[in-house]
Structure 1
Amino acid sequence: MPDFATCRQTLLLYLKARIPFISLRTDERDRALQLLRQLATDLNITIYFHTLSQGTRDIGTNRVTNDDRSVAGALDYASQMMGQRQHLTFILTEVQDIDGDTATSRQLLDVASSATERGGSVVVVTTSAVWPRLQRQGMTLTLDPPSEDEMQTIISECLEPYRGGMPIEWQGPELVEASTILAGVTQIEAENAIATLLAKGSILRSDLEALKQVKDRIFSDISGLERVSVSRGDAGVGGLSGLRVWLEKQRPLLTMDLRERGLRPPRGVLLVGVPGCGKSLSAKAIASDWGLPLYRLDLANIHGKFLGQSEGQLKEALATADRVAPCVLWIDEIEKGLGGSGDSDGGTSSRVLGHFLYWLQEGRARVFVVSTANDISRLPPELFRRGRFDELFFVDLPTDEERGEIIALYAKRYRLPLQSGLLDDLVQLSDGFAGSDLQAAVADVAKEAVIKGDAAVDEALWRRVFANVVPLSRTNPEAIDSIRAWGRERAVPASGQAPAAAPDQPKARRSVLA
């Protein structure tokens, strides 16, 4: 990702070399014009720029040179001026429909040909691809949103005029954290976010949490991802102590500057195991506990009917996730989106899988991925390779101790009294229950309390409700046994304890700290 300084140096060389056509890819038109304005001064050259609202102007003096505000009029003016003078540079900021063979693309091609003959340059600031025949006339360059170092400078410049005039507690560590939070937003979005905080008359350390909320509002309506609301109550997950210990170690690494060590931030976990045992709930718990926004990517819904549409939609969704970072990206039942056959769909599934794996392994944004899977047999083996996910955890049926913890957790949440002796009995009655079975049973007791009053909740009701539950481990034991046999051998136990091996199964080879 080229930063501002790298982009500036490259564009400087392009203009010195008089490259006839330059496409500058960016979402930040004003930042691109700022960059080109600096280069006009440094090189002492005349640069004209066009916008639909102002027509064509001299970038140095801001003087209007052509009143025709249309793109076609700007191109006619550029062609005319290049025929009269050499070494002119024209910037077009709002050109549409140049990704294919269109009238505008062909007119641009003619102007680029004139620029070649007269030593001129045409710079198009755009967010889209350029017609290949036109692009081959020159070079392309990308100006990405500010890096964390650049963002720190932007934030410092926004705060500096107000130091001494209002309480500002942000110093070195807070500025670093603020730049990490705002990574991925544009310069104007970052300046607006800081201005929003300044409007209340102070900048406190506690405002870092408010800054996360401001950024969250910037991306509240984004394509390809679903924003999932989480609350502090979502942080409560019974059992899974091994997973929780591992996550606690990873948490500080998500915001640390790891570049000096050449490390990337934690990439995420793949949770496989028995349905209803807390895999999806863990994604919400991580986001809630870490204070990060949670986004859900539904891979099954990104598949389009046209060639290349699925890959394009996935690429857009993952790029958006990079921009909203730091965040938690939840991919539920990942096998439904990546488990298809590449032969039956013309290779779409294979291309989608390839792009996802590349992003997962090579991405450096602070996106912590929590993927869950129930049907392990449908998962491609490439997904399990070390380096994609940081760890592979197996979520088994809860142990006696974990069932007691889960029952107590939901009893407290639903405000139900529960004596320790009764809890021990319920743990025995719930042998083979998944976490969802336990929640449903406690919820049924709570419903009785709402309907008939708390006095109706006695030990007999608790035992009767639990005795009436038929868990999945009894209705479909073959499927559950198959999942558990796989998890014993191939994954780290999320409970923190190696599961007891079946008579024909070897004990798990890895411990939770492996």
Structure 2
Amino acid sequence: MPNLTETISWLGRYYSARIPVVIVRSQEPARALNAIQSAGVKHQGMPFYLHSSAKGLTELSGGQAVTDDRSLHGALDYATTAFQSRDNVNFVFLDIDDLESESSTSRHLAEVARIAEPRMGSITIVTSKPVWPGLARLGMTVELDLPDHDELLDVITGLVEQHRHLPGFVIEWQMDDMRRAAEILSGVMQTEAVNIVTTLLANGTLLVDDLGELATFKDQIFGGTAGVERVKVSADDAQVGGLTALREWLSKRERRMKEDLTGTKITPPKGVVLVGVPGCGKSLSAKAVAHDWGLPLYRLDLAAVLGMYVGQSESRLREALEGAERVAPCVLWIDEIEKGLAGAGSDSTGVTTRLVGQFLYWLQESKSKVFTVATANDVRQLPPELLRKGRFDEVFFVDLPDERERAEIIRLSFRYKFEQEPSAFLVDELVRASDGFAGSDITATISELANDQLERDATGVIDESLAIQAFSNVVPFSRTNPEEVAYIRQWGLERAIPANGGGGPAVSAAKAAPPAPGSGRRVVL
């Protein structure tokens, strides 16, 4: 869809061509009206009138009332008389209901447009909804997209500079900060952007740290999208042990997610699929990415998307993905994606197949800064087309942590739960005792240790013998389900990049496992 500059250009051409019906599709009537006024400047000799439910019929430029009758019916009667008596008259209508289908209102407008055409008159309708084809086909339609980065930057810059030197205001934002703000606020309406920035200014300050609040305000606007929920991320979520190869790969993509790529051929990263042994940090990695990049994290719940009626699931998924694009830049987390997309080609209704196709199309075609992190445990249920290049940037295999990674996870867990560093002796003993453990096995065991010591009023002290005993009592998933782990490892080695960095004991073990007709109209330049 065109931005404001393109919309003004199209409207100017339509008015020059004397199109009898011009439909402006927009969620922002005030902004659309500004575009119409800018396009009408070229045709100053032509009268433009505006009708709205609040003010009735007025002159577009000066706002002076034309008639006492504020009703739509009265405005259409006035327009009919004007079209019959004069050439090149223009009427703009806001806030009209009942235009989506054939109704008395849509038929009346179509009839007035037919009267206007021989006298080169024009009707412009501003609406956010579809228009009855019988009316829309009499003219042309232009869709005014939400403000792009440059337009938002102009709005934000104007507000900031207006307050920079006023007494009582402390403004830290510079041009780079305002560009970052425009990037974060992409997907909001101009009025919403103004509301957000002025709310920050209401504190009397505009600090660099306030940039983090923009995503919170934006979430308040789009928080009601079905199937998409905001996930709060804390500093603790960034504490991920191991997965060095994955973390290095992600660090190289951070710049593309944050920089303004407008006017370049560079595209933002699409996302990753994390497959592997349960409990090894796949879900935690999604939270860590959002924290490290300073982006909001949203979780797409595919189970909530599925509807009971034909077409409902597809509609809900489309709305959820559009919602994710509106809150971009962001991280979109899809946990256990295989459960939501499993069964493609096998369900009798074909719903899952259509959902897979719709989701894959969005992955491949979307240019928004939505970084998707999809996790999967049961790789056998993954649709093969999901892993094709062009959808996700990469597929990573998350294996059981090796000795070095287990030591890192143990230290992180003790620091978090006991707020102190474990001894080198204890770390070595627990590394040996935790062979075959997933990261979640380690963190859960140390958490239980902390809870147990709290109950015994022994907080702040690490009982090494008790810790070693607790680790020896754990039976990890890799021992209760060795065949499942072996299959996952074999799949990961053949089809994915090791997230753990490769070369460690865990990978070695995996290797061993199995137009309307012309009317004689004159173009007015």
Q: Calculate the TM-score normalised by the size of structure 1.
A: 0.91
CA change 1:128–1:227 in 2 (3 A) is same
CA change 1:8–1:462 in 2 (3 A) is same
- Could you tell me how far 1:501 is from its partner in structure 2? 5.7
CA change 1:464–1:80 in 2 (3 A) is farther
CA change 1:245–1:328 in 2 (3 A) is same
- Could you tell me how far 1:266 is from its partner in structure 2? 1.6
CA change 1:77–1:407 in 2 (3 A) is farther
Q: Give the letter for the 1:453 counterpart.
A: D
Q: Deviations over 1:232-284 (max 9, x none)?
A: 22111111111111111111121223345401112211111111211111111
Q: Deviations over 1:164-219 (max 9, x none)?
A: 33554433322322221222221112222222233333434333334444434443
CA change 1:260–1:137 in 2 (3 A) is closer
Alpha-carbon separation, structure 2, partners of 1:503 and 1:245? 24
1:474 aligns with 2:479: yes
CA change 1:480–1:505 in 2 (3 A) is closer
Alpha-carbon separation, structure 1, partners of 2:337 and 2:121? 51
Q: Deviations over 1:68-98 (max 9, x none)?
A: 5555554455445434444333322223343
1:155 aligns with 2:156: yes
Corresponding residue for residue 427 of structure 1 = 431
Alpha-carbon separation, structure 2, partners of 1:105 and 1:224? 35
Q: Give the letter for the 2:404 counterpart.
A: E
Count of residues paired in the alignment: 506
- The one of 183, 187, 206 equivalent to 2:186 is 183
CA change 1:98–1:224 in 2 (3 A) is farther
Corresponding residue for residue 437 of structure 1 = 441
Listed as ranges, the gaps of 5+ residues in structure 2 are 515-525
CA change 1:135–1:460 in 2 (3 A) is same
Corresponding residue for residue 230 of structure 1 = 233
- The one of 464, 469, 474 equivalent to 2:469 is 464
* SS of residue matched to 1:137: coil
Corresponding residue for residue 95 of structure 1 = 96
**2:486 touches 2:513 (CA, 8 Å); kept in 1?**
no
Corresponding residue for residue 519 of structure 2 = none
Q: Give the letter for the 1:413 counterpart.
A: Y
Which range is displaced more, 247-256 or 87-96? Answer: 87-96
Q: Deviations over 1:347-396 (max 9, x none)?
A: 33333222222222222222111111122222222221222212211111
- Could you tell me how far 1:491 is from its partner in structure 2? 0.6
Q: Give the letter for the 1:9 counterpart.
A: S
- The one of 372, 375, 390 equivalent to 2:375 is 372
- Could you tell me how far 1:465 is from its partner in structure 2? 2.2
Alpha-carbon separation, structure 2, partners of 1:90 and 1:319? 33
Please list, as runs of the form range in 1=range in 2, the aligned pairs for 1:235-314 lying within 5 A after superposition: 235-314=238-317
1:192 aligns with 2:200: no
1:490 aligns with 2:489: no
**2:487 touches 2:513 (CA, 8 Å); kept in 1?**
no
Alpha-carbon separation, structure 2, partners of 1:362 and 1:212? 24
Q: Calculate the TM-score normalised by the size of structure 2.
A: 0.89
Alpha-carbon separation, structure 2, partners of 1:472 and 1:66? 79
**1:448 touches 1:457 (CA, 8 Å); kept in 2?**
no
Corresponding residue for residue 510 of structure 1 = none
Corresponding residue for residue 521 of structure 2 = none
CA change 1:60–1:431 in 2 (3 A) is same
CA change 1:347–1:17 in 2 (3 A) is farther
Alpha-carbon separation, structure 1, partners of 2:178 and 2:57? 39
CA change 1:115–1:280 in 2 (3 A) is farther
* SS of residue matched to 1:140: strand
Which range is displaced more, 185-194 or 494-503? Answer: 494-503
Higher relative contact order (CA 8 A, sep 6+): 2
Alpha-carbon separation, structure 1, partners of 2:77 and 2:445? 75
Please list, as runs of the form range in 1=range in 2, the aligned pairs for 1:331-370 lying within 5 A after superposition: 331-342=334-345, 344-370=347-373
- Could you tell me how far 1:115 is from its partner in structure 2? 3.4
* SS of residue matched to 2:208: coil
Corresponding residue for residue 324 of structure 1 = 327
**2:152 touches 2:182 (CA, 8 Å); kept in 1?**
yes
**2:226 touches 2:305 (CA, 8 Å); kept in 1?**
no
Alpha-carbon separation, structure 1, partners of 2:79 and 2:165? 50
Corresponding residue for residue 5 of structure 1 = 5
CA change 1:484–1:59 in 2 (3 A) is same
Q: Give the letter for the 2:61 counterpart.
A: G
Corresponding residue for residue 517 of structure 2 = none
Alpha-carbon separation, structure 1, partners of 2:449 and 2:476? 17
**2:300 touches 2:333 (CA, 8 Å); kept in 1?**
yes
1:451 aligns with 2:459: no
* SS of residue matched to 1:414: helix
- The one of 379, 389, 404 equivalent to 1:401 is 404
Alpha-carbon separation, structure 2, partners of 1:71 and 1:473? 72
Q: Give the letter for the 1:447 counterpart.
A: N
CA change 1:132–1:382 in 2 (3 A) is farther
CA change 1:419–1:309 in 2 (3 A) is same
* % identical equivalent positions: 48
Alpha-carbon separation, structure 1, partners of 2:226 and 2:97? 21
Q: Give the letter for the 1:484 counterpart.
A: R
Which range is displaced more, 258-267 or 272-281? Answer: 258-267
**1:416 touches 1:446 (CA, 8 Å); kept in 2?**
no
Q: Deviations over 1:481-506 (max 9, x none)?
A: 11111001111111111421646679
- The one of 406, 412, 415 equivalent to 1:412 is 415
**1:40 touches 1:60 (CA, 8 Å); kept in 2?**
no
Superposed CA RMSD in Å reads 2.5
Alpha-carbon separation, structure 2, partners of 1:276 and 1:306? 35
Alpha-carbon separation, structure 1, partners of 2:56 and 2:345? 50
1:35 aligns with 2:39: no
Alpha-carbon separation, structure 2, partners of 1:391 and 1:286? 15
Which range is displaced more, 238-247 or 259-268? Answer: 259-268
CA change 1:451–1:80 in 2 (3 A) is farther
Which range is displaced more, 240-249 or 72-81? Answer: 72-81
CA change 1:128–1:350 in 2 (3 A) is farther
Q: Give the letter for the 1:363 counterpart.
A: S
CA change 1:132–1:339 in 2 (3 A) is farther
CA change 1:261–1:33 in 2 (3 A) is closer
* SS of residue matched to 1:206: helix
Listed as ranges, the gaps of 5+ residues in structure 1 are 507-514
Q: Give the letter for the 1:38 counterpart.
A: S
